[in-house]
A and B are shown apart, each in its own frame.
Chain A
């Protein structure tokens, strides 16, 4: 199975900050990497698919980059509604595995 490791596990940031979350795969997954946002008690919501493609309706302050084993989710100009947990997921092979999540908290 491909292991996905996110860092950091949590971070504190202020409104207006730029936030970067990384996701590393245990082997190359090409660009088959998706990102989800999850708020407490809510279902995960697809943010970015195939590394860098914004899902419809997702604000442009979210962006994704990477290839192979190393990927990044960046949130520029952090907004109050962005405080949530973010999960990466590889879709290169079955089982499709997730990172452990990164919680973005208010500083």
Chain B
């Protein structure tokens, strides 16, 4: 069974930093594009970032570009999201997801998520 487990969330003041991790199991992690997505309280889903299977290509939503860095360690089946210069509006549950479908690009499965709260 494919599983994704996030960790590293918590409370941070505006301007602070956090590093999220996502540990994968049940599939060949190194073969897949991986993504981070988020959902602010009471809001819809938002795509945050992708990383290619090898880690050499990364993509970001405009809302996080220049502040967040996605990376992966294929030897340890782990995806990361380094979040810097955090803003109140970054408060959300952050989930990692495996990307399927090639160009059709769907997210499956998703992890349960880790809550990031940015507040003074």
Number of interchain pairs (Cβ within 8 Å): 62
In the bound complex, CA of A34 to CA of B112 (Å): 19
Chain A residues within an 8 Å CB radius of B95: 43-44
Smallest CB separation, B84 vs chain A (Å): 20
| A91 pairs with B59, CB closer than 8 A | no
Specify the chain B residue showing the minimal Cβ separation from A46. Answer: B108
Q: How far is the CA of A101 from the CA of B42 in the complex (A)?
A: 10
* A46 x B106 contact (CB < 8 A): yes
For A, the interface residue count at a CB cutoff of 8 angstroms equals 22
A100 with B110, Cβ < 8 A, contacts A91-B104, A95-B62 known: no
Interface residues on B, range: 20 to 34
A94 near B106 with CB under 8 A, answer no
Docked-complex contact B112 and A50, CB < 8 angstroms: no
CB neighbours (8 Å) of B108 from chain A are 45-46, 49, 55
Bound state CA distance, A87 and B43, in angstroms?
11
Please determine whether A49 and B47 come into contact, CB atoms closer than 8 angstroms: no
Taking CB atoms, residues of chain B closer than 8 Å to A45 are: 108-110
**A94: which of B46, B59, B104, B113 is its contact (CB, 8 Å)?**
B59
Known: A49-B104, A49-B106. 14 other contacts (CB 8 A): A34-B106, A44-B110, A45-B109, A46-B107, A46-B108, A55-B108, A91-B103, A91-B105, A94-B59, A95-B47, A98-B44, A98-B45, A100-B43, A101-B45
Residues in A lying within 8 Å of B, measured CB to CB: 32, 34, 36, 42-46, 49-50, 55, 87, 89, 91, 94-101
